[in-house]
Amino acid sequence: MDTPDPSSRIGPEPPPFLTLTELLGPGEGRTGNAYIESNIIAPFTNNAILEPYNAAAGLINGVSGREVFHEQKLLTQTATQFLSSDWFLQSACSGLGMVVPYTISAKLAGGGLRAAGAKLRLEGVSAQLIKSEILAGVTGAALYDGLRNPREGESRVGNILAGATAFAVFGTGNRFCKDLTGLKAIASRSAIGFAGAEAQLTVSRLVSQGHLPSGPECMQAGVSGAFMNNVLPRVQQKAEQVILESQLSLGLSAPVDRFATVRLGAGHGKSADLSQLLHENPWARVCYGKHNDFSTASSGTVHLWTRLAAAEDLARGLHRISDAKQPATAGTNNVWQESAAQLQQGNVERAWSLFRDARATQEAQAHTRAQIVGNQLKQSEVLDPNQLRLEIGAWPAPGGVSYEYRWRQEFNQFIESQGSWRPGRKLTSERPFVTEAEAQFKPAEAEATMLEGAIRITDLLQKDHHIAVIVGGAVRDRAAGKPARDYDIGTSAEGHQIKQLLASNGYTVEKTPYPFVQIVRINGIVYEIASFSGRRTGPGLSPSVYQDSATRDLTINSMAMEPRTGAKYDFFGGQRDMDAKLIRTTQDPEVCVGANPRILLRIPRISATKYPEYALSTSLKTALTKHAQKAGELNADWVQKELRLLLAGSNPEVGLSILQSTGVARVIAPHLQAVGDYAPAKH
């Protein structure tokens, strides 16, 4: 087939392909303002786009050995008079344009340096140096200035040394004025930018030509540098934020120090404890959406619960990494060895006790340190470490289960590994350890159904990062070896949160007169879910089980239970008092009775209806006797209601005996006559 003659083509010739220079700069037949194009567009475009493009094209062409990308000509700038308005405008636009390549080169260099440091596992000062912003800026500037085409009177070696010098001045100077604001910040950054650009030009001229630059050249470079250094830190800060958010949104991990600075504002030494944790774990990373991965030793990654995770969550994760890297002190390591030895001797329960105690200590230390970090950043209250260690098992762990349940899973792994497994390593089994006493407990079918519904509710609350435990009569009945009649739930969630969570999962919540109490039915069984009383010191972590238990009147009513394992939280000796058949208050009875005179009738009524075989503690009986006269201050209707309940109890004579022996009966004698004669004693 003959090739057609181009001259015979019908119609106009197609326009030639435009180069970047033709696309961005002024050209024949194009409209535009020549002043703007020459004094604003040209200097900005040359520094922001064309020179970086040529540098990248030269690198790619050199590596590939062929011309993959064509070099672009720079846009033409109109010659200007020294210190004229046009001269200042061109200098400013040049400085603003240089922000783009230097920001990109600094980020690329910083990423490369971080990757090298992580690969080499550098620690301490070496790690802090290799990931510093100053080194990233110096390295990036040296690489970029070495790649870009030298301008007239420049050389590559001179440019490399000059770029490194300038960014050493920028980085060091900006570090000293980082806390300045307003005009002070602008003036300081301008002076630093001016000095850095002057140093860059001076080094370039000395190395390339062997003499100093002229005054006008120094002035133009200084003005450009002043504008650049006012914009560069802000652009770099925004780039950090964009990179971080992009990584986390894509499900990738990001450097933990960048997260702490960008998301939590924890930079500039605001939190000494967090800075120390970051120093201990220089290459740790952070990501979202991996709640079920509790291990940290292998990856050095902190898995946060939600996108609203606070400083406390980050600090806890970092503390766990520190524990996993060096299983804490020799003392703690000896605990694992002793637990393993007990396991090998067949003393499983003793091994579990040692293991659980060590894990509770580790987690309490992690949470305490995390709260200190939160306090340093936002002045929040720090819980007592000893109290925290006692109740930490009831708190929600990553994965939507309690720490108690998680530790039991870990202990099974410990058993299967014959005592060699350590916290922080990945679990291969989700089966929890069960003690002998718990294994022997076989609830009746009705109670098993009640417990199943309670677990459903507590699971929902824990997965939403709330504490959720069984409280009240069910715990007391199980501690006494009796079947539970109902299962009430206590939680750190607020009333509206409980209602919203249950409703969103298809449960109908019944109305109650109390906003902190919600009632729901599952398979016809009624469950009462109540918010803990007390203060809140952290998202989803307080009020606590301890604080809720402390508000209950009697020790035997103050116990709580982890729903999935049956583990009890007994802060006030409830089990001990049940074994001793003793009625005792959680707090000083003198204070309790003095502050709440209703106890004067509640104790006799409870004794008559629930604990007829229990004796009152000496201190409680003394307090009842001392404050007996306060019974006269109580509402008459309420007193008569309590007396009717007492007389209807299984052993009313027990309650009446307490009223008489403490002197309360004399004070409320008219009410006793109003509700009828003493019930006859049973034979």
- Tens digit of each residue's pLDDT (9 = 90 or more) over 463-480: 888 899 999 888 988 888
Q: For residue 248, what pLDDT is reported?
A: 87
Distance CA 219, CA 197 (A): 9
Phi, psi dihedrals of residue 82, rounded to the nearest 5°: -55, 130
Q: For residue 269, what pLDDT is reported?
A: 62
Please tell me the pTM assigned to this model. Answer: 0.72
Helix axes 495-504, 445-463, angle to 10 degrees: 110
The per-residue pLDDT of the chain, averaged, comes to 84
Helix axes 599-609, 652-662, angle to 10 degrees: 150
Boundaries of every domain in the chain:
24-249, 258-433, 443-580, 581-683
Distance CA 413, CA 429 (A): 7
Q: Stretch 626-637: mean pLDDT, rounded?
A: 91
Name which of 598, 616, 609, 679 is nearest 645 in CA terms: 609
Helix, strand, or coil (residue 468): strand
Helix, strand, or coil (residue 489): strand
DSSP percent split of the chain into helix, strand, coil, nearest 5: 60, 5, 35
pLDDT at 18 over 50: no
pLDDT at 261 over 70: yes
DSSP class per residue in 623-676: HHHHTGGGGGGS-HHHHHHHHHHHHTSS-HHHHHHHHHHHTHHHHTHHHHHHH-
CA distances from 258 to 240, 293, 345, 525 (A): 8, 22, 48, 50
**Which of the four pLDDT bands, split at 50, 70 and 90, describes residue 4?**
very low
State the DSSP code for 510.
Answer: E
Q: What is the CATH code of the structural domain delimited by 581-683?
A: 1.10.110.30
**Which of the four pLDDT bands, split at 50, 70 and 90, describes residue 656?**
very high
Distance CA 468, CA 455 (A): 9
User: How crowded is residue 446: how many other Cβ atoms within 10 Å of its Cβ?
Assistant: 12
pLDDT at 314 over 80: yes
User: How crowded is residue 87: how many other Cβ atoms within 10 Å of its Cβ?
Assistant: 18
Name which of 606, 674, 610 is nearest 637 in CA terms: 674
Q: Stretch 427-449: mean pLDDT, rounded?
A: 81
Q: For residue 614, what pLDDT is reported?
A: 93
What CA dihedral angle connects 17, 20, 25 and 29, to 10 degrees?
10
Q: Stretch 232-249: mean pLDDT, rounded?
A: 88
Q: For residue 576, what pLDDT is reported?
A: 92
- 8 Å CB contact between 286 and 314: yes
Q: For residue 27, what pLDDT is reported?
A: 52
The listed CATH number (3.40.50.970, 3.30.565.10, 3.65.10.10, 3.30.460.10) that belongs to domain 443-580? 3.30.460.10
pLDDT at 650 over 60: yes
**Which of the four pLDDT bands, split at 50, 70 and 90, describes residue 610?**
confident
**Which of the four pLDDT bands, split at 50, 70 and 90, describes residue 293?**
low
CA triplet 267, 200, 221: central angle to 5 degrees? 100
Q: What does the block give as tokens for 11?
A: 């119609």
**Which of the four pLDDT bands, split at 50, 70 and 90, describes residue 123?**
confident
Distance CA 664, CA 624 (A): 8
Q: For residue 297, what pLDDT is reported?
A: 64
Greater confidence, 63 or 8? 63
pLDDT at 673 over 90: no
Distance CA 425, CA 414 (A): 11
Lowest mean pLDDT among 57-66, 373-382, 485-494, 592-601: 373-382
Distance CA 232, CA 230 (A): 6
